Protein backbone atom coordinates (compact mmCIF):
# COMPACT_ATOMS: atom_id res chain seq x y z
CA UNK A 1 0.00 0.00 0.00
CA UNK A 2 1.35 3.41 -0.99
CA UNK A 3 2.14 5.76 1.87
CA UNK A 4 0.35 9.10 1.60
CA UNK A 5 2.33 12.31 1.30
CA UNK A 6 2.03 14.40 4.50
CA UNK A 7 0.21 17.70 4.07
CA UNK A 8 1.93 21.02 4.64
CA UNK A 9 1.74 22.09 8.30
CA UNK A 10 1.45 18.46 9.50
CA UNK A 11 3.86 17.05 12.09
CA UNK A 12 5.59 14.78 9.58
CA UNK A 13 5.86 17.28 6.71
CA UNK A 14 9.11 19.01 7.72
CA UNK A 15 11.22 15.84 7.96
CA UNK A 16 9.42 14.35 4.93
CA UNK A 17 10.25 17.47 2.88
CA UNK A 18 13.95 17.30 3.78
CA UNK A 19 14.16 13.59 2.88
CA UNK A 20 12.18 14.10 -0.32
CA UNK A 21 14.39 16.96 -1.52
CA UNK A 22 17.56 14.98 -0.85
CA UNK A 23 16.17 11.93 -2.63
CA UNK A 24 15.04 14.09 -5.56
CA UNK A 25 18.55 15.53 -5.90
CA UNK A 26 20.20 12.11 -5.80
CA UNK A 27 17.83 10.57 -8.36
CA UNK A 28 18.17 13.50 -10.78
CA UNK A 29 21.95 13.41 -10.41
CA UNK A 30 22.05 9.65 -11.10
CA UNK A 31 19.81 10.03 -14.18
CA UNK A 32 21.90 12.96 -15.48
CA UNK A 33 25.13 11.00 -15.05
CA UNK A 34 23.57 7.95 -16.74
CA UNK A 35 22.43 10.00 -19.74
CA UNK A 36 25.80 11.73 -19.96
CA UNK A 37 27.77 8.45 -19.85
CA UNK A 38 25.38 6.82 -22.33
CA UNK A 39 25.91 9.78 -24.68
CA UNK A 40 29.67 9.44 -24.37
CA UNK A 41 29.54 5.70 -25.05
CA UNK A 42 27.28 6.09 -28.10
CA UNK A 43 29.33 8.96 -29.57
CA UNK A 44 32.88 7.55 -29.34
CA UNK A 45 33.59 9.36 -26.04
CA UNK A 46 32.93 12.80 -27.55
CA UNK A 47 31.16 15.12 -25.11
CA UNK A 48 29.60 17.22 -27.88
CA UNK A 49 26.25 15.48 -28.37
CA UNK A 50 22.54 15.84 -27.59
CA UNK A 51 22.85 13.53 -24.57
CA UNK A 52 25.19 16.03 -22.92
CA UNK A 53 22.62 18.79 -23.41
CA UNK A 54 19.85 16.64 -21.90
CA UNK A 55 22.09 15.71 -18.96
CA UNK A 56 22.87 19.39 -18.36
CA UNK A 57 19.14 20.17 -18.26
CA UNK A 58 18.86 17.88 -15.23
CA UNK A 59 20.90 20.44 -13.31
CA UNK A 60 17.82 22.69 -13.10
CA UNK A 61 15.70 20.43 -10.86
CA UNK A 62 18.82 19.53 -8.86
CA UNK A 63 19.55 23.23 -8.26
CA UNK A 64 15.93 23.94 -7.29
CA UNK A 65 15.86 21.07 -4.78
CA UNK A 66 19.26 22.09 -3.41
CA UNK A 67 18.11 25.69 -2.92
CA UNK A 68 14.98 24.66 -1.00
CA UNK A 69 16.95 22.12 1.06
CA UNK A 70 19.54 24.74 2.03
CA UNK A 71 16.68 27.09 2.98
CA UNK A 72 15.01 24.65 5.41
CA UNK A 73 18.04 22.68 6.63
CA UNK A 74 19.13 25.09 9.41
CA UNK A 75 15.78 24.92 11.19
CA UNK A 76 15.31 22.33 13.90
CA UNK A 77 11.94 20.85 14.84
CA UNK A 78 10.25 21.93 18.06
CA UNK A 79 10.59 19.55 21.03
CA UNK A 80 7.99 16.81 21.50
CA UNK A 81 7.17 18.16 24.97
CA UNK A 82 6.32 21.59 23.57
CA UNK A 83 4.19 20.02 20.84
CA UNK A 84 2.28 17.94 23.38
CA UNK A 85 1.66 20.99 25.59
CA UNK A 86 0.38 23.00 22.62
CA UNK A 87 -1.84 20.15 21.38
CA UNK A 88 -3.43 19.80 24.82
CA UNK A 89 -3.97 23.55 25.09
CA UNK A 90 -5.69 23.93 21.71
CA UNK A 91 -7.70 20.69 21.74
CA UNK A 92 -11.30 21.52 20.86
CA UNK A 93 -10.51 25.22 20.44
CA UNK A 94 -8.76 25.54 17.09
CA UNK A 95 -6.19 24.21 14.68
CA UNK A 96 -2.44 23.73 15.23
CA UNK A 97 0.01 24.05 12.32
CA UNK A 98 3.50 22.59 12.66
CA UNK A 99 6.98 23.62 11.46
CA UNK A 100 6.50 26.31 8.84
CA UNK A 101 9.20 27.99 6.77
CA UNK A 102 7.77 31.02 4.98
CA UNK A 103 9.70 32.60 2.14
CA UNK A 104 9.58 36.10 0.79
CA UNK A 105 11.81 37.68 -1.82
CA UNK A 106 14.11 38.93 0.96
CA UNK A 107 14.36 36.04 3.43
CA UNK A 108 13.15 32.74 4.85
CA UNK A 109 11.30 32.78 8.19
CA UNK A 110 10.61 29.84 10.48
CA UNK A 111 7.76 29.37 12.94
CA UNK A 112 7.66 26.23 15.10
CA UNK A 113 3.90 26.22 15.78
CA UNK A 114 0.94 28.30 14.62
CA UNK A 115 -2.42 28.20 16.43
CA UNK A 116 -5.42 29.20 14.32
CA UNK A 117 -8.59 30.16 16.15
CA UNK A 118 -11.56 32.26 15.11
CA UNK A 119 -10.29 35.85 15.05
CA UNK A 120 -6.99 34.87 16.67
CA UNK A 121 -3.68 33.71 15.16
CA UNK A 122 -0.81 32.94 17.51
CA UNK A 123 2.61 31.49 16.72
CA UNK A 124 5.53 30.05 18.63
CA UNK A 125 9.10 30.37 17.40
CA UNK A 126 11.26 28.07 19.50
CA UNK A 127 14.52 29.69 20.63
CA UNK A 128 17.47 27.91 19.07
CA UNK A 129 15.53 26.90 15.97
CA UNK A 130 17.97 29.06 14.01
CA UNK A 131 21.50 30.25 14.73
CA UNK A 132 21.90 33.22 17.07
CA UNK A 133 19.74 35.36 19.36
CA UNK A 134 19.75 38.37 17.02
CA UNK A 135 18.72 36.21 14.07
CA UNK A 136 15.92 34.74 16.20
CA UNK A 137 14.48 38.18 17.03
CA UNK A 138 14.82 39.34 13.43
CA UNK A 139 13.06 36.17 12.27
CA UNK A 140 10.13 36.84 14.63
CA UNK A 141 9.75 40.48 13.51
CA UNK A 142 10.03 39.67 9.81
CA UNK A 143 7.64 36.70 10.07
CA UNK A 144 5.04 38.85 11.86
CA UNK A 145 5.32 41.63 9.27
CA UNK A 146 5.17 39.18 6.35
CA UNK A 147 2.19 37.18 7.64
CA UNK A 148 0.28 40.31 8.71
CA UNK A 149 0.74 41.67 5.18
CA UNK A 150 -0.50 38.38 3.72
CA UNK A 151 -3.56 38.39 6.00
CA UNK A 152 -4.33 42.00 5.07
CA UNK A 153 -4.03 41.18 1.35
CA UNK A 154 -6.51 38.31 1.89
CA UNK A 155 -8.98 40.78 3.40
CA UNK A 156 -8.69 39.28 6.87
CA UNK A 157 -8.62 41.52 9.92
CA UNK A 158 -6.57 39.15 12.07
CA UNK A 159 -2.97 39.85 12.98
CA UNK A 160 -0.49 37.26 14.15
CA UNK A 161 1.16 37.40 17.56
CA UNK A 162 4.46 35.52 17.87
CA UNK A 163 5.98 34.27 21.13
CA UNK A 164 9.35 32.68 21.84
CA UNK A 165 8.19 31.17 25.14
CA UNK A 166 5.93 28.09 24.95
CA UNK A 167 4.09 28.95 28.18
CA UNK A 168 3.25 32.48 26.99
CA UNK A 169 2.12 31.00 23.68
CA UNK A 170 -0.19 28.51 25.43
CA UNK A 171 -1.55 31.06 27.91
CA UNK A 172 -2.41 33.46 25.08
CA UNK A 173 -4.81 30.98 23.44
CA UNK A 174 -8.41 32.10 24.05
CA UNK A 175 -10.78 29.57 25.55
CA UNK A 176 -13.34 29.58 22.73
CA UNK A 177 -15.29 26.54 21.50
CA UNK A 178 -14.53 25.17 18.07
CA UNK A 179 -17.43 24.40 15.71
CA UNK A 180 -17.73 23.19 12.10
CA UNK A 181 -18.27 26.73 10.75
CA UNK A 182 -15.08 27.87 12.43
CA UNK A 183 -13.28 24.78 11.11
CA UNK A 184 -14.22 25.67 7.51
CA UNK A 185 -12.95 29.25 7.97
CA UNK A 186 -9.67 28.03 9.46
CA UNK A 187 -9.19 25.46 6.67
CA UNK A 188 -9.56 28.29 4.13
CA UNK A 189 -7.00 30.38 6.02
CA UNK A 190 -4.64 27.41 6.23
CA UNK A 191 -4.96 26.77 2.47
CA UNK A 192 -4.14 30.42 1.71
CA UNK A 193 -1.01 30.18 3.88
CA UNK A 194 0.20 27.03 2.07
CA UNK A 195 1.13 29.01 -1.02
CA UNK A 196 4.04 30.80 0.62
CA UNK A 197 5.37 27.93 2.73
CA UNK A 198 8.34 25.95 1.44
Q: Is the pTM of this model over 0.95?
A: no
Report domain 80-194's class. Answer: alpha beta
Angle subtended at Cα 63 by Cα 62 and Cα 69, rounded to the nearest 5 degrees: 90
What distances in angstroms separate CA 80 from CA 53, 126, 165, one per listed residue? 47, 12, 15
Instruction: Give residue 67's pLDDT.
Output: 93
Tens of pLDDT, residues 59-101? 999 999 999 999 888 888 888 999 999 999 998 888 999 999 9
Amino acid sequence: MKKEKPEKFSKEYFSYRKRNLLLNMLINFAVAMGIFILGLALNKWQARNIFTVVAILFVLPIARSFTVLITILPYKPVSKEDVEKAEQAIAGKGMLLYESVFTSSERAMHLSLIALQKGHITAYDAPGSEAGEKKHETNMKEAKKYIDTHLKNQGLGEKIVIYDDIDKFINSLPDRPYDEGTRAELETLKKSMEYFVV
